[in-house]
Structure 1
Amino acid sequence: MNTVPIIPDSAPFSAEQRAWLNGFLAGLLNRGASSGPAPTGASASPQCPLLIAFGSQSGNAESLAKRLAREATGRGFAARAAGLDSLQPADLVREQNVLLITSTWGEGDMPDNAMSFWDSINQNGSSPALTGVKYSVLALGDKNYGDTFCLAGKKIDARLAELGAIRVVERVDCDVEFDDLAKTWSTSVLAALESTATLSLQASSNPIITTEIVEESGYSKKNPFQAQLIANLELNATGSAKDTRHIAFSLAGSGLDYEVGDALGVYVKNCAEVVDSIISAHGFDPHCEVPLPDIGTASLRDAMISHYDIRHLHGITPGNPGSVADFVTNLRKLQPRLYSIASSLKAHPEEVHLCVGAVRYEVHGIVHKGVASTFLAERLPLGETTGIFFHVAKHFRLPTDRTKPVIMVGPGTGIAPFRAFLEEREATGSPGKNWLFFGDQRRATDFLYHDQIIEWVQKGVLSRLDTAFSRDQEEKVYVQTRMLTAAAEFWQWLEEGAHFYVCGDAKRMAKDVDAALHEIIQTAGGNSAEEATAYIADMKKNKRYQRDVY
């Protein structure tokens, strides 16, 4: 046999890789010179497996995981991306190399599609040891949530280590601007895994391909469309304690489209009066030039209105921040806000609608305003434009089978995606039944989209409507109360394959609705608590229980 080295010592491979390549290529050369059968072991070994698991509520973690899978494949791994709801601990043991990307939801909660996986690894004695599994975690979150920032990722990272997995790169915790940190993390983890893995001939002999983050063609978060505001209508009647607005933007000339269930990203500005009060309190010159978060400079006043997040500065006692440059350095970048879309393109071509509750409150005599909500309600004039982009929400979709029943729970501005759902179901002639639970404070002043909803009832588009106006009687009544009252029919719809959707407040409403769902499955369905939990887990796995909560 030819034993002359084919790959020289100067080649950019490890000694182990050179030895393997020399042996393999020598076998190929000898097979070509022989009329006999190919020697055993002359085929290339399999590529190194890499599982990229994601826990995703709004789609960011899923998008990053799929992007990383493409990059890893280009570098020679046999990579695949998979939702945590499709995985068991045994999958990690089998694939050995695991990268996990997860967001945190609500008050430090796991994303919906990560709950069953978390339960499977967090129950003592039920999870296999993960000895030998190499892993790293990328956690997505929002620092505004304080102690619960990236908590889901932190919990999973710690638990995998407890089960014996080997952390190849320390966990990275990302704030809302995650692209740069995610790229740094992915580069580090792939390099770490490459250093410990023996890759196939294809992976070792081909140039390493680095897939950079590819921006979407056309308009996107980094290249928003300047959309014109074409409607700003008050949805509450006189006497309401709330200020809820129907907001509509024109998409004319953008070429953009969306699906019901998606979200709209809106670029907003801070209130000029608030900015002026902060600048005055600190004694700064509003016209001095300061650096912007990304690139370039602007006057301090313009930078604070359009580019920096000042929420935690409003109402503070001025201290001694030092120079203006030091002051600005401590500010976070002003982020666009995501809103559930409240319209269907089939009903409103070249338009996108929102349902926005303006936030205003007073603390110690100081009036506070929600940055985005009051920007849309009072500071963006009709006919003016602001940057928008669409955020795909694959986790929140109508059933592809249009005959399936749909149950929707959306109190307050949570009605937004269900207005879109019902417009879509009507426009497509979907034969499936529709049931809406809507709640707010008072029927006379807070029945959002009243006329349109009642028309759907009259047309039969809405098979059933249950409302809960909490302050119309002495005893508070909420959407979950109405669910329990209708438990028997609710269970019947579930058994018919109904898809269940919830939109709105994550802190209380969504948890109370989830508790009511468990109770209905137990009482009306005759199930134990454990059976109800399994029933709901199966609903989530089959995309029959979807939430858009915030």
Structure 2
Amino acid sequence: MSSNAALPLIPLPEAKAGELLRLVDGLDSSALWWLSGYAAGLASQPASLPRAVNAALAKDATPALKLSIVYGSQTGNAKRLAEQLAQKAEAAGIAVRLLRADAYPTRELKAERLLYIVISTQGDGDPPDDARGLVEFIAGKRAPELPELQYAVLGLGDSSYPQFCAIGRQLDERLSALGARRLVARGDADVDIDSIAKPWLEQALTAVREATKGAAPLATVTPLRPPAAPAFSREKPFAAELIKNQRVTGRGSDKDIRHVELSLEGSGLRYEPGDALGLWPRNPAALVDAVLDAQKLNGDTPVTHDEVTLSLREWLSSRRELTKLARPFVAQHAAHAGDAELNRILSPDHAPALTRLLGEYQIIDLLRAFPAAWSAEELVAALRPLAPRLYSIASSQRLVGDEAHLTVAHVQYEAFGSTHWGAASHQLAASDEGAALPIFIEHNDRFHLPKDTARDVIMIGPGTGVAPFRGFVQERQAIGATGRNWLFFGNPHFRSDFLYQTEWQEALRNGSLHRLDLAFSRDQAEKVYVQHRLVEQGRQLYAWIESGAHVYVCGDATRMAKDVHNALIEVAMSHGGKSREDAETYINQLQQQGRYARDVY
């Protein structure tokens, strides 16, 4: 390292300053907070420093055991739980390092003695983007034998997908196969995360206390107090006023897409472009009525569950999931119904049929197709808790102030002879201006703009996936970024589905957007998607990437994101002269460097 220009800013000898910069390189905000707390503790007790160092280095002392907590998170839940575990372990006097999966040095795995992994599973059994490299390493031939490792895994997932918590299960089984010893049984948390995660965290903390009993402490540290918790959060949402609800698709469009503006005035909530807004929804009243009617239940019946008493109607309206079907409820309903066909679908050799059922049916469809009698208490206990919905924020707070803008596709369709809705999107679409909606901010550090404002930015966002890029362009204009901005956008039709058309045209005119490539798939005989435009513009696209551009993708994870990923590989092959294997490595390295980020769902 020879960037001496940066070193005088650090009041240390040059050699020490260089060591410090190498130490903090690659650490995320959580690890940096811990490190600052460690340093603050030593500073408050300088006389203890020699004793602490001598104790750590003494040959006759029991070696210090450090707990590594590694998280892989797509929407922030795994990160939140890992941070909670780290804080509790540190408060218990355990030496901890907390790392995002893509910052974990895999070469150190062989030397690990205590390792906890908190990781989510995306879609059809995929790891979160920040954990792909770690998962591949542990699953691959290069993974070492781990006879001295003690570990535990907490998996997060959604049981409405067939591959529920698959990544957590794979890591748990693989580490065991490599000779590691499981300290705590794996936890598989559904969307009602805390029902599994909370007891798992307590068990994990107890286990690591036992494992580190008698080990020498690294130092006597006064923990630094973390930043003050915001007044409003996921657990304590803010009642945001709806100040605008405007349809942005034109006549004749098959889609009802809304531009929504919410007031954050008085909340103190802050966000960066790339962050998400969470909404705690209410199920549509007509859907609640349909469930009550199908079960011949009275909505006014009081139901007590987990020491909370509400009317059955309120449980179904605000506390229970009705628009997403999950395997556990299907299994319980099959037992109630005693239906041979439903039990056949649940059998391991009929996985495709179960996948179709979970993808096409809502709770009401299952109740109607396979009748069974549920009591009010049984139904509330069997249904999953209603989870918040996350939406990419479509604005820059530097420009809009105490507001957050969203781009929301209203889910409403006909199936099995009745109208179906999405819980949150229908609530937003049906709400009048002035309504109060319970919201919170979910930060997404992996999907923020580059700190170097001279970097070019390539944004790929078809449909509502364009939302965060509206915020990106606003932000880059507001801060005077000198890097270029290139947007790829697609939708079915130019005339009816060109979201924010006038804004993009104005951005091209004023220079805040430098390139715009469009793919309207149904405006010609042959369907054209954004991935086709990437290949068409491959030469310039590759030149931008080679010169340091950051690539961002937002939207559908099932097909679009995979097609775009393959298109980027094809571009690297065609214009970088790479083999397929080398091109895949090249794109994966961009991801590991933080220059290729995805917000997919």
Q: Read off the aligned partner of 1:133 and give its amino acid letter.
A: L
Which of 515, 521, 532 does residue 566 from structure 2 map onto?
Answer: 515
Which of 455, 463, 466 does residue 514 from structure 2 map onto?
Answer: 463
In structure 2, the CA distance between the partners of 1:81 and 1:63, relative to structure 1 (3 Å rule), is: same
Contact 1:47 1:77 in 2 (8 A): no
In structure 2, the CA distance between the partners of 1:78 and 1:231, relative to structure 1 (3 Å rule), is: same
Which of 347, 353, 357 does residue 409 from structure 2 map onto?
Answer: 357
- 2:318: which partner in 1? 306
Which of 181, 184, 189 does residue 204 from structure 2 map onto?
Answer: 189
In structure 2, the CA distance between the partners of 1:487 and 1:214, relative to structure 1 (3 Å rule), is: closer
- 2:261: which partner in 1? 248
- Please say if 1:108 is aligned against 2:121: no
| Distance in 2 (alpha carbons) for counterparts of 1:193 and 1:175 | 24
Q: Read off the aligned partner of 1:304 and give its amino acid letter.
A: L
* Total equivalences in the alignment: 506
| Distance in 1 (alpha carbons) for counterparts of 2:220 and 2:486 | 59
CA deviation map 1:430-478 (0-9, x unaligned)? 1100000000000000000000011101111111100000000000000
| Distance in 2 (alpha carbons) for counterparts of 1:437 and 1:259 | 21
CA deviation map 1:36-89 (0-9, x unaligned)? xx9x95985553121111112222222322332232222232210112223354
- 2:474: which partner in 1? 423
* More divergent stretch after superposition (485-494 vs 364-373): 364-373
Structure 2 SS opposite 1:115: helix
* More divergent stretch after superposition (352-361 vs 437-446): 352-361
* More divergent stretch after superposition (341-350 vs 183-192): 183-192
| Distance in 2 (alpha carbons) for counterparts of 1:465 and 1:42 | 64
Contact 1:357 1:373 in 2 (8 A): yes
Q: How does 1:356-505 map to 2 (within 5 A)?
A: 356-378=408-430, 380-505=431-556
Q: How does 1:41-440 map to 2 (within 5 A)?
A: 45-124=62-141, 126-145=142-161, 147-200=162-215, 202=217, 216-291=229-304, 296-311=308-323, 312-315=362-365, 316-317=367-368, 319-378=371-430, 380-440=431-491
| Distance in 2 (alpha carbons) for counterparts of 1:106 and 1:83 | 20
Q: 1:537: how far off?
A: 2.1
Structure 1 SS opposite 2:364: coil
* More divergent stretch after superposition (474-483 vs 63-72): 63-72
* More divergent stretch after superposition (68-77 vs 468-477): 68-77
Q: Read off the aligned partner of 2:193 and give its amino acid letter.
A: F
Q: 1:368: how far off?
A: 1.1
Q: Name which one, 1 or 2, has greater alpha-carbon Rg.
A: 1
Q: Read off the aligned partner of 2:237 and give its amino acid letter.
A: P
* More divergent stretch after superposition (319-328 vs 264-273): 319-328
Structure 2 SS opposite 1:102: strand
| Distance in 1 (alpha carbons) for counterparts of 2:388 and 2:301 | 25
Contact 1:521 1:527 in 2 (8 A): yes
Q: 1:188: how far off?
A: 1.7
Q: 1:136: how far off?
A: 0.7
Structure 2 SS opposite 1:259: coil
CA deviation map 1:267-316 (0-9, x unaligned)? 21111112112212221122221236x65322222322222212232233
Q: Read off the aligned partner of 2:176 and give its amino acid letter.
A: A
Q: Read off the aligned partner of 1:158 and give its amino acid letter.
A: E
Q: How much is the aligned-residue C-alpha RMSD, in angstroms?
A: 2.5
Q: What's the TM-score, normalizing by structure 1? A: 0.87
CA deviation map 1:472-494 (0-9, x unaligned)? 00000000000000000000000
Q: 1:149: how far off?
A: 0.9
Greater helix content: 2
In structure 2, the CA distance between the partners of 1:44 and 1:416, relative to structure 1 (3 Å rule), is: same
| Distance in 2 (alpha carbons) for counterparts of 1:205 and 1:523 | 57
- 1:34: which partner in 2? none
Contact 1:59 1:395 in 2 (8 A): no
| Distance in 1 (alpha carbons) for counterparts of 2:375 and 2:194 | 30
Q: Read off the aligned partner of 2:391 and give its amino acid letter.
A: Y
Unaligned runs of 5+ in 2: 1-54, 324-361
Q: Read off the aligned partner of 1:171 and give its amino acid letter.
A: R
Structure 2 SS opposite 1:347: helix
| Distance in 2 (alpha carbons) for counterparts of 1:416 and 1:322 | 42
CA deviation map 1:237-281 (0-9, x unaligned)? 111111000011111121211111110011211111121122122
CA deviation map 1:329-387 (0-9, x unaligned)? 21222222110000111111111110000112222222211111111112x22111010
| Distance in 2 (alpha carbons) for counterparts of 1:171 and 1:314 | 32
Contact 1:48 1:76 in 2 (8 A): no
Contact 1:76 1:203 in 2 (8 A): no
Structure 1 SS opposite 2:240: strand
In structure 2, the CA distance between the partners of 1:527 and 1:320, relative to structure 1 (3 Å rule), is: closer
In structure 2, the CA distance between the partners of 1:116 and 1:81, relative to structure 1 (3 Å rule), is: same
Contact 2:302 2:309 in 1 (8 A): yes
Structure 1 SS opposite 2:513: coil
| Distance in 2 (alpha carbons) for counterparts of 1:138 and 1:470 | 41
Q: What's the TM-score, normalizing by structure 2? A: 0.80
In structure 2, the CA distance between the partners of 1:183 and 1:458, relative to structure 1 (3 Å rule), is: same
In structure 2, the CA distance between the partners of 1:253 and 1:214, relative to structure 1 (3 Å rule), is: closer
Structure 2 SS opposite 1:245: strand
Contact 2:88 2:205 in 1 (8 A): no
| Distance in 1 (alpha carbons) for counterparts of 2:178 and 2:64 | 26
CA deviation map 1:107-127 (0-9, x unaligned)? 210111211122222223x22
Q: How does 1:35-46 map to 2 (within 5 A)?
A: 45-46=62-63
